Amino acid sequence: MTDTASTTNYLNSTTGWRSWLFTLDHKRIGLMYLLFIAISFGLGGFFALALRLELINPGKLLFTAKQYNQMFTLHGAIMTFLFIIPSIPASLGNFILPLQLGAKDVAFPRLNLASLYIYVLGAIFCVYSMVAGAADTGWTFYTPYSSTTDTSVISMTMGAFILGFSSIFTGLNFIVTIHKLRPPGMTWFRLPLFVWSLYATAIIQVLATPVLGITIVLLVLERVLGVGIFDPALGGDPILFQHFFWFYSHPAVYIMILPAMGIMSEVVSAMASKKIFGYRLIALSSLAIAIISFLVWGHHLFVSGQSDYAAVIFSFLTYLVSIPSAIKIFNWVSTLYRGSIDLRAPFLYFAAFLFMFCVGGFTGVMLASLSLDVHLHDTYFVVAHFHYVMVGGTTIAFLSGLHYWWPKMIGKMYSEFWAFVAWLFIMVGFNMTFFTQFLLGSKGMPRRYYNYLDQFQPLHAFSTSGTWVLAIGFLIMAFYLIDSIMNGKPAPANPWGATTLEWQTDSPPITENFHDTPVVTTDPYEYGVAKS
Amino acid sequence: MSQESHHDHFIVPTSVYVGALGALLILTVITVAIAQINFGSFNLIVALLVAIIKASVVMFVFMGLWWDDAFNRFAFLSSLLFLFLFFLFTFADVWFRDFRSPLESEILPIKSPVRPAVVGEKSSH
Amino acid sequence: MNAPDVPIQTHQVAHHFATAKQEFDSAKFGMWLFLVTEVLFFGALFVAYGFLRWRYPEMFVEAHRILSWKMGAFNTLVLIVSSFTIVMAVQSIQRNRQRLAQRYLGITAALAGVFLVVKYFEYMDKIHHGFLPAKFFSGVGVSEHLHLFFGIYFTMTGLHGLHVLIGIGLIVWLMKRNRQGHFYSGFFTPVEMVGLYWHFVDLVWIFLFPLFYLVG
Amino acid sequence: MDNKIIHESLIATGNTWFPSQASTFAASVDGMFNFIYYGSIIISLGILVATIYFIWKYRKSVHAKADNHENLTHNTWLELSWTIPPLILVMGIFVVSFKDYLHMAIAPQQATQIKVVGKKWFWAFEYPNGTKTLGELVVPVNTPIQLLMSSDDVLHSFYIPNFRVKRDVIPNRYTKLWFEPTKKGNYQIFCTEYCGDGHSDMLASIRVVSMPEYEKWLATQGSGGDDLPLDELGEKLYTSKACVTCHSIDGSAKVGPTWKGLFGAKRAFVDGSSAVADENYIKESILIPGKHVVVGYGPVMPAYQGLLSDREIDALIEYIKKVK
Q: Kindly report the three-state secondary structure assignment for every residue of chain D.
A: CCCCCCCCCCCCCCCCCCCCCCECCHHHHHHHHHHHHHHHHHHHHHHHHHHHHHHHHCECCCCCCCCCCHHHCCCHHHHHHCCHHHHHHHHHHHHHHHHHHHHHHCCCCCCEEEEEEEECCEEEEECCCCCEEECEEEEECCCCEEEEEEECCCCEEEEEHHHCEEEEECECCCEEEEECECCCEEEEEEECCCCCCCHHHCCEEEEEECHHHHHHHHHHCCCCCCCCCHHHHHHHHHHHCCHHHCCCCCCCCCCCCCCCCCCCCEEEECCCCEEECCHHHHHHHHHCCCCCCECCCCCCCCCCCCCCCHHHHHHHHHHHHHCC
What's the rounded Cα separation, in Å, for the pair D256 and D298? 8
More confident residue, B121 or D41: D41
Query: Chain B partners of D171 at a C-beta cutoff of 8 Å?
Result: 107-108
In this structure, the number of other CB atoms found within 10 A of the CB of residue B48 comes to: 15
Query: Chain D partners of B101 at a C-beta cutoff of 8 Å?
Result: 148, 174, 176
Report the residue of chain D nearest B103, measured CA to CA: D174
Cross-chain Cβ contact A307/B95 below 8 Å: yes
Query: Smallest CA–CA separation between A41 and chain C, in Å?
Result: 28
Cross-chain Cβ contact A228/C56 below 8 Å: no
- Cα–Cα distances in Å, from A509 out to A13, A129, D45? 11, 39, 42
B70 close contact with A: CB closer than 8 A: no
Q: In this complex, which of B90, B96, B111 lies closest to A309 when CB atoms are compared? A: B96
Query: Chain B partners of A314 at a C-beta cutoff of 8 Å?
Result: 89
Question: Does chain D reach chain C with at least 3 CB pairs under 8 Å?
Answer: no
What's the rounded Cα separation, in Å, for the pair A470 and A426? 5
Task: Tell me whether residue A18 is in a domain.
Answer: no
Whole domain around residue A47: which residue ranges? 25-504
CATH 1.20.120.80 fits C20-214, yes or no: yes
ipTM value greater than 0.85:
yes
Domains and CATH numbers, chain D: 26-105 (1.10.287.90), 112-220 (2.60.40.420), 230-322 (1.10.760.10)
C61 close contact with B: CB closer than 8 A: no
Cross-chain Cβ contact D150/B108 below 8 Å: yes
Query: Chain D partners of A354 at a C-beta cutoff of 8 Å?
Result: 47, 51
Task: Tell me whether residue A493 is in a domain.
Answer: yes
Chain C interface with A: residues with Cβ < 8 Å = 14-17, 22, 25-27, 29-30, 33-34, 36-42, 44-45, 47-48, 51-52, 55-56, 132-137, 144-145, 147-148, 151-152, 154-155, 159
Task: Please choose, from the candidates A172, A236, A177, A240, the residue with its C-alpha nearest in 3D space to the C-alpha of residue A208.
Answer: A172
Q: Which 8-state DSSP code applies to residue A108? A: -
Query: Chain B partners of D176 at a C-beta cutoff of 8 Å?
Result: 98, 101
Tens of each residue's pLDDT in chain A, 532 residues: 344 445 788 888 888 888 899 999 999 999 999 999 999 999 999 999 999 999 999 988 999 999 999 999 999 999 999 999 999 999 999 999 999 999 999 999 999 999 999 999 999 999 998 888 889 999 999 988 999 888 889 999 999 999 999 999 999 999 999 999 998 889 999 999 999 999 999 999 999 999 999 999 999 999 999 898 998 888 888 999 999 999 999 999 999 999 999 999 999 999 999 999 999 999 999 999 999 999 999 999 999 988 888 899 999 999 999 999 999 999 999 999 989 999 999 999 999 999 999 999 999 999 999 999 999 999 999 999 999 999 999 999 999 999 999 999 999 999 999 999 999 999 999 999 999 999 999 999 999 999 999 999 999 999 999 999 999 999 999 999 999 999 999 999 999 989 999 998 988 999 889 988 888 888 888 886 544 3
Query: Smallest CA–CA separation between B100 and chain D, in Å?
Result: 8
What pLDDT, in 10s, does the model give residues A484-507? 999 999 999 999 989 999 998 988
Query: Chain A partners of B77 at a C-beta cutoff of 8 Å?
Result: none
CB proximity under 8 Å: A 327-366 to D = 327, 329-331, 333-334, 336-343, 351, 354-355, 358-359, 362, 365-366
Query: Chain A partners of D154 at a C-beta cutoff of 8 Å?
Result: 144-145, 148
Give the mutation candidate from D119, D174, D176, D177 for the B interface (greatest B CB count, under 10 A). Answer: D174
For chain A, the domain total comes to 1
Query: Smallest CA–CA separation between B90 and chain D, in Å?
Result: 18
C139 close contact with B: CB closer than 8 A: yes
pLDDT for B6? 46
Report the residue of chain B nearest D171, measured CA to CA: B108
Cross-chain Cβ contact B87/C84 below 8 Å: no
- Name the residue ranges covered by the structural domains of chain C: 20-214
Q: Report the C-alpha dihedral over residues A455, A459, A462, A463, rounded to 10 degrees.
A: -130
Query: Smallest CA–CA separation between A211 and chain C, in Å?
Result: 6
Cross-chain Cβ contact B82/A298 below 8 Å: no
Chain B interface with D: residues with Cβ < 8 Å = 98, 100-101, 103-104, 107-108, 110
CB proximity under 8 Å: B 67-96 to C = 68-69, 71-72, 75-76, 78-80, 82-83, 86-87, 90-91, 94-95
DSSP collapsed to 3 states, B64-115: CCCCCCHHHHHHHHHHHHHHHHHHHHHHHHHCCCCCCCCCHHHCCCCCCCCE
Cross-chain Cβ contact D174/B103 below 8 Å: yes
C10 close contact with B: CB closer than 8 A: yes
Task: Tell me whether residue A7 is in a domain.
Answer: no
Q: In this complex, which of C81, C139, C206 lies closest to B55 when CB atoms are compared? A: C206
Cross-chain Cβ contact B11/C91 below 8 Å: yes
Task: Please choose, from the candidates A520, A528, A489, A488, the residue with its C-alpha nearest in 3D space to the C-alpha of residue A504.
Answer: A520
Tens of each residue's pLDDT in chain D, 324 residues: 344 568 889 998 888 999 999 999 999 999 999 999 999 999 999 999 999 999 999 998 888 888 887 777 788 888 888 889 999 999 999 999 999 998 898 888 889 999 999 988 899 999 988 888 888 899 999 999 999 999 988 999 999 999 999 999 998 888 889 999 999 999 999 999 999 999 999 999 999 999 999 999 888 775 555 667 777 788 878 877 778 778 888 877 777 888 888 888 888 888 888 888 888 888 888 888 877 888 878 777 877 777 777 778 888 888 888 887
Query: Chain A partners of D77 at a C-beta cutoff of 8 Å?
Result: none
Res. B9: pLDDT tops 90: no
Using the Cα atoms of residue C142, residue C148, residue C150 and residue C156 in order, give the sign of their dihedral: negative
Report the residue of chain B nearest D174, measured CA to CA: B104
D105 close contact with B: CB closer than 8 A: no
C48 close contact with B: CB closer than 8 A: no
Bridge partners, D122 (sequence order): D119
What's the rounded Cα separation, in Å, for the pair A269 and D67? 12
Q: Measure the CA angle with vertex B63, ends B62 and B65; round to 5°.
A: 115
D85 close contact with B: CB closer than 8 A: no
**pTM score:** 0.90
Give the mutation candidate from A111, A176, A241, A245 for the C interface (greatest C CB count, under 10 A). Answer: A176
Q: Which 8-state DSSP code applies to residue A57? A: S
Contacts of C93 (CB under 8 A, 6+ apart): C101, C178, C183, C184, C185, C188, C191
Interface A-B: count of C-beta contacts within 8 A: 53
Cross-chain Cβ contact B101/D172 below 8 Å: no
A299 close contact with B: CB closer than 8 A: no
Is the bond preceding residue C69 a cis peptide, omega within 30 degrees? no
Tens of each residue's pLDDT in chain C, 216 residues: 567 777 888 888 888 888 899 999 999 999 999 999 999 999 999 999 999 998 888 888 888 889 999 999 999 999 999 999 999 999 999 999 999 999 999 999 999 999 999 999 999 999 998 898 988 888 888 888 899 999 999 999 999 999 999 999 999 999 999 999 999 988 999 999 999 999 999 999 999 999 999 876
Query: Chain B partners of A211 at a C-beta cutoff of 8 Å?
Result: 86
Task: Please choose, from the candidates A426, A360, A350, the residue with its C-alpha nearest in 3D space to the C-alpha of residue A390.
Answer: A360
Q: At A394, which CATH number? A: 1.20.210.10
